[in-house]
Structure 1
């Protein structure tokens, strides 16, 4: 998995040369640095100082060649200008500068040749080679070495920046242990996590990470869920509750029954999302890549024009002078700042989001979230806890309340909806003597079945209308969620169920309003309940009693009237709306796999406050990317004009190229340090 991830990272930063690091020597050191970064895959991170020393050693090796070249360059400049001597001339002087040049330039020349062999003639490596070799050809040895030296230093800093972004996301890849302890026939044995089967019992000691999703068999245990949610706050689980791969057992020896295959675990899907995130490029990123492919050959031909065309228009044409201007032009025009810093900015945004428990499936969705004008959300499980409790049971005379509840419990046992769970918790274990026949779920309404040849219907009052069941209750007068029940073609009564609002829901709406974003709530729940929740939270518009297709139509209306829409949901019936919206956001904790699969952004801990955070991360990422674009174009344009007019030297050119690249990279890395 790590190998695949590394390849994805290289593709992310390839620019037009398909190289993540422009310098082969730097790349090699970076890979070694990554291999020695201190992570292990056992689920424990041993930090005894040894890894820290290895990282420092690798960092020193990365800078070793540029340092050697710099020492030789400084010594040569001192002998040229400050020390009176007779031996540092002619061949010796040229050889000295050549050694200083080749120390940092060999790998770049090699990369240029490899790019040409692949058919990519106009790369930044070729620009550097032409400019520096040209400088040597006209006797400007110090400047030729300096250009290549600073380019090499810039590549090292690019490598470090990419490595930093990579490490932020790579931490997710180290969350699962490679091995798990399985209990079989009263004995424990250690096997590879991927070889564990559904139904196996995992023994999890305090401090160990869970390798697969499962059901807790121990009476209770506390877990650190930071790997999945970004929150280190302990989460106490009771017997029978679901525990997920990546969670760390905090207190007792726990036993977990495996319920999901290794490759299908929640964390596996998260890792897959992160790994594939960089394949979905933002429009700005795609534009810069296309731009670089056209821009680089144009620059080469313009440089040739600067060198040779003045011959036809001036009587005092000096080849060396105009060649020098052309070389300056080439160095300035290298598109490294754009090719590296822009993808790095987006990658940093994905990393910053991941660190906060928000997963973007591509950098293009960072741009979409930055421009969101409307947030449309589901109610249950999104703004409310999705944990229902029965409030009251009202049944008409002539019906045995206990018997009706047992039958409703039996039919609701066919559903995984939170309402069904609430009824099950209220009534208790399902009565096995109740036999159901022809059970049918009616989308957006409820359930129908036959018990002893008589029809039982349980759902909303629309379901009663659908089957022509008359009732003497005014549904709008009941605030809570209501389950109406009919038995043997007669209305029997109803059950009311309430769901609590999440503690950060009000804060979420306030933050969205501060961002000038309009908020709409859509729900299949009854309108009175939806309006009650919406009014309490300050939501702009709310609509209840909606079927899945009604939600789709409402989102279409909002998109047509008000622009970019992000939809937030968690249920299977939300998947069509998530797919339709400009940015689909899924609650990844309680959310269904179908919705998570369809969504563009996944919130791992189900906290609605992560919605405005995701929007802010998108806005900050886009802001940094455009700052880099503006910086690169403005500085390069000014120095290009000065260089073509003979007013800028190689030193200004070096700043315009390497200096701007470094500034842009440092700016791009900034997002990884931000707090949202």
Structure 2
């Protein structure tokens, strides 16, 4: 996925659909402009409703003179003129849209249907109904716009998290600079209450940050010196200094913002079907309306053109696919917004549909169910001193990014700078091989020792902990006993998945004894250890052969083949890895496995709401279409079938924003 950011300002525009929709714009703003923009928003709402208010007042005047206070002068051209003036404020924008659609090759748009229906009403003398249909349709369009703005509010809140500027340190001076102009390596100063504008490394001893904008969690997060801090975090307690490590446009938050914005472009199968359906459906109903108007002259003895034209016009108004074409994308967009509010980022509405059908969740162990923060519990040296074992092993592991290697390096604390490390080779799924001061060192699991025919203590195979075995010059030299800690809500996550009949499977490269211990504690259905990346692929293929929808949860980097094979790839702790954001379909912004259940739940609720809207729209429209064709429905019923059902569907779609997902 390619990311492009030209500046802080990001604009997300939803243009009118080819068949139905209103234009919606959303721009992010810096915090110091909040009050100004708030008042600007209020003025824009008034401007949106102003044409409808004018039309409504003029329509009431016309109805008053027509029905309650008849005047001899209110007839002929004067009466027609009043209703035309009432029609123009709401009708002209729609007719303009119809013309624009026609120029782009789309004759049968909703705007075309509304145009011919209301102009037809004027042609047969039904002036009030012609104005009323266009008025209520326009009001419906406004409410659609407001509904979309409301649904976008969570994502807009995320877009507001990046400050435009940052305070840089130049010697003893502080200089306020645009964040987009600050270079890597610059030192920036962050005061209490300020948001960090760029990713960087903490130079101060410690600091506490509010990370809610990134993770959805309000719990403060304390960072220590040299730890990475991310754009969007809010400093809570003291003035700190941060060294910029990433360009403004490449920050984690920038990539997340791009991902969320691009999510709306990836449509679900349901959404794509409805849009294709609308393109076929609309011309069909136009031809049916023509048939309703003209065919009865051959079969009806007392055929009156005006009466049958009225029925055809009613039929046209009812047939508009607005409720479907607007409410369904809005439902999916609402699901994406609800997910982002809960710290879950979907890369497209198609993944909401997929998550709703997931039957098996396959989980990686390290970093997903366990914290991935390993600590050395025990060191046993054989034939050499413990210090020598630690120094040599840590020196080699310093070239690895694996959490186990990091634990050994941390345990060593200080490496011997005189050790010359050469020929380091990583053996996937097994460990490391290299030379230090002409001593060949092999560090890894039991399989690696067996591969090189190195005899070791076989009792280590039965340990329920992670064991890293060391051999020097192909002679067993000792081992490190390393333990990982299970995440606090891992058990709750598995229990929640079992409640909705989702099977859980754990795959790990760790040895079977360790995997079994974790699986037993968490009550996981199936657990497989001692797996290389290709073995994980085989296990997932085996599950897919049972025609089951599978979600894989892991780091999205080492397990890329499995992520690609699964129906939905979910990355845990995505903020910690650029590659995770790139490869995963869904990113859980914190490390909580319980969010897997939340993601499935949001998918299920979104799909439920979408199908409620589809059913409601089809049932109501079908009923009123039949009544309209039979002359039993007027323009007023037609307005309800179109605008009324659309508004009900929209209200139902935005309901997901108010739901609580745990």
Q: Could you say which TM-score interval applies, normalised by the shorter chain? A: over 0.9
Determine the C-alpha separation between the residues in 2 that align with 1:649 and 1:432: 89
- Structure 1 residue 188: deviation in Å? 2.1
Map of 1:447 onto structure 2: 432
**SS in structure 1 at match of 2:659:** coil
**Residues 16-61 of structure 1 deviation map (CA, whole Å, 9 limit, x = unaligned):** 24x741xxxxx5xx65xx56xxx632xx35666x654443332222
Deviates more, 1:607-616 or 1:473-482: 473-482
**Change beyond 3 A, Cα 1:394–1:6:** closer
Q: Is contact 2:573-2:589 (8 Å) kept?
A: yes
Map of 1:417 onto structure 2: 402
Determine the C-alpha separation between the residues in 1 that align with 2:639 and 2:9: 33
Map of 1:624 onto structure 2: 609
**SS in structure 2 at match of 1:484:** strand
Map of 2:633 onto structure 1: 648
**Residues 210-241 of structure 1 deviation map (CA, whole Å, 9 limit, x = unaligned):** 11111100011111101210112211111111
Say whether 1:498 aligns with 2:483.
yes
Determine the C-alpha separation between the residues in 2 that align with 1:173 and 1:502: 30
Q: Is contact 1:9-1:166 (8 Å) kept?
A: no
Map of 1:234 onto structure 2: 220
Deviates more, 1:248-257 or 1:161-170: 161-170
- Structure 1 residue 326: deviation in Å? 0.1
Map of 1:158 onto structure 2: 144
TM-score if structure 2 supplies the norm length? 0.96
Determine the C-alpha separation between the residues in 2 that align with 1:112 and 1:286: 23
Aligned equivalent of 2:464, options 468, 479, 482 = 479
Determine the C-alpha separation between the residues in 2 that align with 1:539 and 1:47: 48
Q: Is contact 1:585-1:602 (8 Å) kept?
A: yes
Structure 2 stretches lacking a partner, 5+ long: none
Say whether 1:187 aligns with 2:173.
yes
Aligned equivalent of 1:358, options 344, 358, 369 = 344
Map of 1:524 onto structure 2: 509
Determine the C-alpha separation between the residues in 2 that align with 1:57 and 1:198: 42
Aligned equivalent of 1:569, options 524, 534, 554 = 554
**SS in structure 1 at match of 2:505:** strand
Q: Is contact 2:179-2:197 (8 Å) kept?
A: yes
**Residues 305-360 of structure 1 deviation map (CA, whole Å, 9 limit, x = unaligned):** 10001111112110000000000000000001111111111111111111111000
Map of 1:587 onto structure 2: 572
Determine the C-alpha separation between the residues in 2 that align with 1:47 and 1:303: 50
Matches within 5 A, 1:67-86: 67-86=53-72
Map of 2:496 onto structure 1: 511
- Structure 1 residue 189: deviation in Å? 1.7
Tell me the C-alpha RMSD between the 2 structures. 1.7
Determine the C-alpha separation between the residues in 2 that align with 1:237 and 1:456: 35
Map of 1:221 onto structure 2: 207
**Change beyond 3 A, Cα 1:663–1:590:** closer
Say whether 1:306 aligns with 2:292.
yes
Q: Is contact 2:8-2:180 (8 Å) kept?
A: no
Aligned equivalent of 1:172, options 154, 158, 164 = 158
Map of 1:136 onto structure 2: 122
Map of 1:602 onto structure 2: 587
Matches within 5 A, 1:2-401: 8-11=12-15, 14-17=16-19, 20-21=21-22, 27=23, 31=25, 40-41=29-30, 44=31, 51-396=37-382, 398-401=383-386
Deviates more, 1:327-336 or 1:53-62: 53-62
Determine the C-alpha separation between the residues in 2 that align with 1:455 and 1:472: 20
Q: Is contact 1:571-1:591 (8 Å) kept?
A: no
Map of 1:611 onto structure 2: 596
Structure 1 stretches lacking a partner, 5+ long: 22-26
Map of 1:551 onto structure 2: 536
**Change beyond 3 A, Cα 1:133–1:5:** farther
TM-score if structure 1 supplies the norm length? 0.94
Q: Is contact 1:587-1:596 (8 Å) kept?
A: no
**SS in structure 2 at match of 1:474:** helix
Q: Is contact 2:21-2:325 (8 Å) kept?
A: no
**SS in structure 2 at match of 1:501:** coil
**Change beyond 3 A, Cα 1:477–1:176:** same
- Structure 1 residue 98: deviation in Å? 0.9
Determine the C-alpha separation between the residues in 2 that align with 1:592 and 1:204: 24
Determine the C-alpha separation between the residues in 2 that align with 1:127 and 1:84: 33
Determine the C-alpha separation between the residues in 1 that align with 2:8 and 2:68: 53
- Structure 1 residue 85: deviation in Å? 2.4
Map of 1:24 onto structure 2: none
Determine the C-alpha separation between the residues in 1 that align with 2:6 and 2:134: 33
- Structure 1 residue 590: deviation in Å? 6.2
- Structure 1 residue 83: deviation in Å? 1.3
Determine the C-alpha separation between the residues in 1 that align with 2:233 and 2:210: 6
- Structure 1 residue 206: deviation in Å? 1.2
**SS in structure 2 at match of 1:231:** coil
Count, aligned residues: 657
Deviates more, 1:582-591 or 1:491-500: 582-591
Q: Is contact 2:18-2:101 (8 Å) kept?
A: no
- Structure 1 residue 8: deviation in Å? 4.9
Q: Is contact 2:470-2:479 (8 Å) kept?
A: yes
Map of 1:534 onto structure 2: 519
Q: Is contact 1:439-1:447 (8 Å) kept?
A: yes
Determine the C-alpha separation between the residues in 2 that align with 1:3 and 1:133: 46
Q: Is contact 1:214-1:259 (8 Å) kept?
A: yes
**Change beyond 3 A, Cα 1:118–1:104:** same
